Chains A and B, each alone.
Chain A
């Protein structure tokens, strides 16, 4: 089954404790991206990757890191989480930025 998976689905953590949210796709997509969703603000792109070893900043990259060492995986790293990073995070993959985005199930992160 073609899918995008994210782990964990829910995470409660404390300020400053490094965490990683994993994202994996099995559709051989070149393009992957991360979004955060906050009420009234829609989906905001954090980082995107056009291909392996190619990553670029979206609209809200501050406080986040990503890596793309393999085509299928695109982890999101919060090295020192802060409460303003409490949000719902979605990973997505597609053939490219101008094609249908396939979203993962989402990760709800709470930073206290």
Chain B
């Protein structure tokens, strides 16, 4: 089945710096890669996603890149703000015989210091 590895597990940056979180996946048939943000005590919420036919997607300060050959994708947050502090999860949606499954990474705790 699919295996998603996420790094780093914790990330600490100064306000205004950039933050990058990386994920690798194992199933080449996976075709949808979302990123979720979970604030303390809250439910996860989608912040950006990318499909396998696209290499990069941007939404204001947030961008995601996908390298299908290397089977990795990354979340980039520019000009970080204290309200970006949260746990971030990547995920991969299975293809082929694994269609229907959604596998998440272990999460990254991002702390943005004012």
Contact = CB atoms under 8 A, between A and B. Distances in A.
Given A90-B43, A105-B43, A98 B51 contact: yes
21 contacts: A35-B104, A40-B9, A42-B6, A42-B89, A42-B107, A43-B89, A43-B91, A43-B107, A45-B101, A45-B102, A45-B104, A56-B100, A90-B44, A97-B94, A97-B102, A99-B32, A100-B34, A100-B46, A100-B49, A103-B43, A106-B43
Given A45-B103, A90-B44, 12 more contacts: A40-B106, A42-B107, A45-B101, A58-B102, A59-B101, A98-B31, A98-B51, A100-B46, A101-B36, A101-B44, A103-B43, A104-B43
Interface residues of A, number: 24
Contact of A101 (B6, B34, B94, B99): B34
Contacts of B36: 101
A101 B46 contact: yes
A29 B53 CA distance: 25
Contact-residue size bin, chain B (C-beta under 8 Å from the other chain): 20 to 34
A48 B44 contact: no
Nearest to B87: A42
A93 interface: no
B22 to A, nearest CB: 15
A24 to B, nearest CB: 15
